[in-house]
Amino acid sequence: MAPQEIAEVFTEILEQARRLDPVNSRSWFDELGVVQFDGGLLEVSCPDDATARFLRDNCKSNFTQAAQQVTGHLVSVKFTVSEARKTPGELSRPNKTVKIHPDYTFDNFVVGPSNRLAHASCVAVGHSPCNTYNPLFLYGSVGLGKTHLLHAVCYEAQRQPENWAIQFLSCEEFINRFINAIEMGQLSDFQSEFRTVDMLVIDDVQFLRDHEQSQEEFFHTFNALYNNRKQIILSADSAPGAIPSLEDRLISRFKWGLVARIDPPSYETRVAIVKKKAHLRGLELSEDIAEYIAKKIRANIRELEGALTMIYAEAMACGETINLALAKRALGDPAASITKQITITEIIDVITHHFDVRLTDLQSKRRSQSITMPRQICMYLARNLTRHSLEEIGGHLGGRDHTTVMHACSKIAEMEKTDSKMRTRLGELEKEIQKS
């Protein structure tokens, strides 16, 4: 085929791929090119490693299907990054690049009052690692953008001319690699790998809580990096002091730099996020639909995206264009599954208000009936309305151990069965919590 012809066919293939899988289509598909297209092989050139990885992981089958539908032949599809298009960092550090998700950039992050500090500090650190906030500690409940910001910081730092050596991994991966290193007798390799980077980024450090030995190792890694003025960035689902059974010496270190909290986004921010997500997928979304989704889903941004996906799936299934009626239908009954995510803090607020007790009472060792009952109800509701473990719930309520929480839960469950007053009261409390 002539180059012009290849370009035309490729445009058609892209359109078809978008139709086949709107959820995984992105507006940057327009930047993709063709390296070669012959003999049943379509080699697509991608702007960088991150986009190539995204395509391989999410789009290989629909690109293949699209290519076959458009050409009428069996075609296999391959995604490559052409050397010419690689950034200087990628060229000089071919096997040390951090795995970045192409969606998770600062450009794609909507800033609002709920995340302004976290965003600003990440931008500062991304531009100038080791020189601003150290460590940088982000926390907030699930789905509020912590992982997104960590990817964005790494992406930004990687683009700086200094060629920073970056390690970015989840806390679980850190723990697994540590355990592996011990088993294989390769602890010193592990230690030198983590203690010689310029920037160490660990997501979800609350998982350190159950791993004493990993905490110990992480403590020494932290000290080595910090003393050498290397950048440390961490995220967690709670503030340093609220992570159950985390050693005090780690808690205090986490507070040495900047601790930035991320709150659930306001309505305006949610509308902007829905629009941003739609735009990223190259999809048109009218104002009223964006507002509808933002009103309907409040707590977790991942669920905003889930709602978008459901609307597109509904549109595809019915062969209709997207309108408000369709959006409502798509999010109607099935949206029962996207109910608001309840936090322990909300439960505690409702309980303290309802029983007129203070949080410190709930956390205290006091055993009078007027305190014990609200405390046990609090544990029971936390167990039923959140995904926290018994240990975590105990941690929020004065560091009680899991057997205490288990005992409280079975006691209240029993009362719920036998005592109609308790049943009514639990129902009312739950309603209040859902509303809060």
Q: How far apart are CA 81 and CA 46, in angstroms?
A: 5
CA distance 350 to 344: 10
Select from 69, 76, 147, 286 the one that contacts Mg ion (CB under 5 A).
Answer: 147
CB 265 within 8 A of CB 112: yes
Nearest to 136 by CA among 257, 262, 261, 241: 257
Here's the x/- map for ligand ADP, 72-111, by CB under 6 A: it reads as -------------------------------xx---xxx-
145 binds, among ligand ADP, Mg ion, none (CB under 5 to 8 A by kind): ligand ADP
- Counting residues that bind ligand ADP (by CB under 6 A) gives 19
Give the one residue of 6, 34, 130, 142 binding ligand ADP; rule: CB under 6 A: 142
Rounded CA gap, 40 and 173, in Å? 39
Site string for ligand ADP, 280-309 (x = CB under 6 A): ---------------------xx--x----
Give the residue, chosen from 52, 118, 123, 144, that forms a contact with ligand ADP under the rule CB under 6 A: 144
In b/e form, how buried is each residue of 56-90, taking b as 16+ CB within 10 angstroms?
Answer: eeebeebbbbbbbebbeeebebbbebeeeebeebb
The stretch near Mg ion (CB under 5 A) out of 39-47, 142-150, 281-289, 387-395 is 142-150
Of 44, 70, 273, 327, which lies in the binding site for ligand ADP, with binding defined by CB under 6 A?
273
Total residues at interface with Mg ion (CB under 5 A): 2
* CA distances for 311 relative to 302, 316, 317, 322, 433, angstroms: 15, 9, 10, 8, 28
170 binds Mg ion (CB under 5 A): no
| Position 278 contacts ligand ADP (CB under 6 A) | no
3-class DSSP assignment, residue 167:
strand
Minimum distance from CB of 220 to ligand ADP (Å)? 26
Q: Which is nearer to ligand ADP, 278 or 412 (CB)?
A: 278
Which SS3 state, helix, strand or coil, does residue 37 take? Answer: strand
The residue at minimum Cβ distance from Mg ion is 147
Q: What angle do CA 6, 7, 13 make, to 5 degrees?
A: 85
**301 close to 273: Cβ distance less than 8 angstroms:** yes
Query: How large is the angle between the packed helices 344-355 and 420-435, nearest 10 degrees?
Result: 120
Residue 318 to residue 331: CA distance in whole angstroms? 15
Q: Which of residues 357-376 bind Mg ion (CB under 5 A)?
A: none
Which of 126, 145, 374, 395 is in the footprint of ligand ADP by CB under 6 A?
145
Q: Which is nearer to Mg ion, 208 or 405 (CB)?
A: 208
- Cβ proximity to ligand ADP: between 18 and 146 the closer is 146
Q: Binding marks (x or -) toward Mg ion, 98..137, rule CB under 5 A? A: ----------------------------------------
Interface ranges with ligand ADP (CB under 6 A) = 103-104, 108-110, 115, 140, 142-148, 273, 276, 301-302, 305
